[in-house]
Structure 1
Amino acid sequence: MPTAIIADDERLMRDQLRLRLNQVWPELEIIGEAKNGDEAVALVAELKPDLTFLDIRMPGTNGMEAARLIGTQSNIVFVTAYDQYAVEAFERGAVDYVLKPPEQERLQVTVERLKLRLEKPKEAANDSVTAMLSQLAEKMAAPKPTYLQWIQASIGQDLRMIPVEEILFFRSDEKYTCVQTDRFEALIRKPVRDLAEELDPALFWQIHRATLVNVNAIEGVTRDIRGRHLVLIKGKSDKLEVSRSFLHLFKQM
């Protein structure tokens, strides 16, 4: 039977991943758990698991550092809440990954990859993994882009400087973009497609070609009688339509 350990600083995530793995790969034996990278490295040396599921971001020794220390002793599977550089690199197949929270359908794809990897000669796989880890570390260490902190908007004859964290959502029509806060509504001429490139994607999600919403302002998602998905805004009666191409954003909620 193939064996594995799970390393994540969140107990709930370890339990959830263990449960999902048992559903899609009952033959896999989870022989240990770790709360950080140091414990993971020690467990690998002691238990010699075939697979090591490593959370990328852990306090102390993180997943990337632990992976280097583990080296060729175990096949690495990174666990990530979504890092654009990580996912881009992992999709090339040199290193496997699991997205948080683990979904059964997506995890099944990872499991099939892992089964194939375990059939390959270890030396061939290790060379590609080492090269990918170096490339990934460089990308993740690169300077983070700077995002808009303020929006300059008009309210009647007045001009306001609005901190982006106070904005609930942006919604465009043909000429203007409405900037909605908890206290007032303002207008700007910048279209949503430009704002989407200038705002932090971790704070603002584009849910429609004409709408951006602050994730902290989302109360929930509902459906209307026509089957459309609508985002509910905390403290507001507004319901923002979600385009089909953006529905994947809410699978983790």
Structure 2
Amino acid sequence: MTPTALIAEDEPLLAAALQADLASLWPELVIAANVGDGLSAVAQALALRPSVCFLDIRMPGQTGLEAAQALAEDWPADAPFPLLVFVTAYDQYAVSAFEAQAVDYLVKPVETARLAACIKRLQTRLADRRAEAAPAAAGLASAIDQLRALLSAPGAGPGAAPGTAGAASPPRLEVIQAGVGNTVHLVPVAEVLYFEAADKYVRVVTADREHLIRLSLRELLPQLDAQVFWQVHRGLVVRASAIATAVRDESGKVFLSLRGRNERLTASRLYAHLFKGM
């Protein structure tokens, strides 16, 4: 099969240079799409199912890591998951984190020799896939394991800035201030059952009410106790003690029921490992 690739890079000159170098070093590769933001990268990758995705770490809408996370959560289990290459301007600490998790990377400005080495690695992996004829689900499971480790690496998670490894954590949030018109509702975090991303807002759901706050989940997460609130999807954080049952389906997703609530929440494959019997 002819290999295909998606390039996600918000700097047009860098995107054009990468595409030109790929055409020279890997002429068989077909560039299926060239996009400039993370949301478009996810949409196009899901639609086109390329063999390889080159994802810039810093992009509007979603970072490259968040785009990869979205792909892992939404990718169909019967399709081969693309090989991921992160394009980064991170410092050496973060680059080492990428390398340690066996996810390839390119450092800006991309050097020809480094790109050639990356291409060789990609070609080998694609050839191995064809030779082994491994089930698509196996490749997806492997990618999920790599992303899970990468997202938990210090200084390499979504939204992390270069050189932030070991930075002091922000203070724990005790009260949510939810404004409605001229009124501000003070919601104790101890009463919150879950937080859910909703466009530019976050839904704050308690046992008897819900509020909207103009804050991204990315900004909110560092202020929550990770032992108390579990991220179970890129857009959903749930109080662990509020979960009554967790049921896994054939695709690897997990459906959660809450104590005292009727709705059913979905945990993605990336976070399914949180729900294992003791």
- TM-score band by shorter chain is 0.5 to 0.7
Q: Which amino acid aligns with 2:39?
A: D
Residue 135 of structure 1 is matched in structure 2 by 149
Structure 2: tracts of 5 or more residues without a match: 76-80, 168-278
Computing the radius of gyration over CA atoms, which structure comes out larger, 1 or 2?
A: 1
Residue 182 of structure 1 is matched in structure 2 by none
Residue 98 of structure 1 is matched in structure 2 by 106
Identity of aligned residues (%): 45
Is 1:41–1:69's contact at 8 Å kept on the other side of the alignment?
yes
CA–CA distance in 1 between the matches of 2:33 and 2:97? Answer: 27
Is 1:86–1:136's contact at 8 Å kept on the other side of the alignment?
no
Partner of 2:59, secondary structure, is coil
CA–CA distance in 1 between the matches of 2:101 and 2:119? Answer: 13
Residue 269 of structure 2 is matched in structure 1 by none
Partner of 1:91, secondary structure, is helix
CA–CA distance in 1 between the matches of 2:104 and 2:9? Answer: 16
CA–CA distance in 1 between the matches of 2:6 and 2:44? Answer: 8
Runs of 4 or more off by more than 3 Å in structure 1?
Answer: 121-128, 141-146
CA–CA distance in 2 between the matches of 1:18 and 1:112? Answer: 16
Partner of 1:60, secondary structure, is coil
Is 1:95–1:132's contact at 8 Å kept on the other side of the alignment?
yes
Residue 6 of structure 1 is matched in structure 2 by 7
Residue 140 of structure 2 is matched in structure 1 by 126
Q: Which has the higher relative contact order, 1 or 2, with Cα contacts under 8 A spaced 6 or more apart?
A: 2
Partner of 1:27, secondary structure, is coil
CA–CA distance in 1 between the matches of 2:15 and 2:91? Answer: 19
CA–CA distance in 2 between the matches of 1:126 and 1:70? Answer: 10
Is 1:7–1:35's contact at 8 Å kept on the other side of the alignment?
yes
1:128-184 deviations in Å (ceiling 9; x for gaps):
3322222222222475457xxxxxxxxxxxxxxxxxxxxxxxxxxxxxxxxxxxxxx
Matches within 5 A, 1:26-45: 26-45=27-46
CA–CA distance in 2 between the matches of 1:36 and 1:19? Answer: 20
Residue 21 of structure 1 is matched in structure 2 by 22
1:57: Cα distance to partner? 1.1
CA–CA distance in 1 between the matches of 2:90 and 2:14? Answer: 14
Residue 67 of structure 1 is matched in structure 2 by 68
Partner of 2:149, secondary structure, is helix
CA–CA distance in 1 between the matches of 2:101 and 2:123? Answer: 13
- Does structure 1 residue 57 correspond to structure 2 residue 65? no
1:123: Cα distance to partner? 4.2
1:13: Cα distance to partner? 0.9
Is 2:98–2:150's contact at 8 Å kept on the other side of the alignment?
no
Q: Which amino acid aligns with 1:84?
A: Q
Structure 1: tracts of 5 or more residues without a match: 147-253
Partner of 2:85, secondary structure, is strand
Is 2:5–2:50's contact at 8 Å kept on the other side of the alignment?
yes
Is 2:101–2:146's contact at 8 Å kept on the other side of the alignment?
no
Partner of 1:59, secondary structure, is coil
How many residue pairs get aligned? The number is: 147
CA–CA distance in 1 between the matches of 2:91 and 2:69? Answer: 19
CA–CA distance in 2 between the matches of 1:2 and 1:93? Answer: 24
Is 1:37–1:60's contact at 8 Å kept on the other side of the alignment?
yes
Judging changes above 3 Å, is the alpha-carbon distance between structure 1 residues 88 and 125 closer, same or farther for their aligned structure 2 residues? farther
Is 1:96–1:110's contact at 8 Å kept on the other side of the alignment?
yes
CA–CA distance in 1 between the matches of 2:122 and 2:94? Answer: 17
Matches within 5 A, 1:150-169: none
1:160-219 deviations in Å (ceiling 9; x for gaps):
xxxxxxxxxxxxxxxxxxxxxxxxxxxxxxxxxxxxxxxxxxxxxxxxxxxxxxxxxxxx
Q: Which amino acid aligns with 1:8?
A: E
CA–CA distance in 1 between the matches of 2:94 and 2:138? Answer: 21
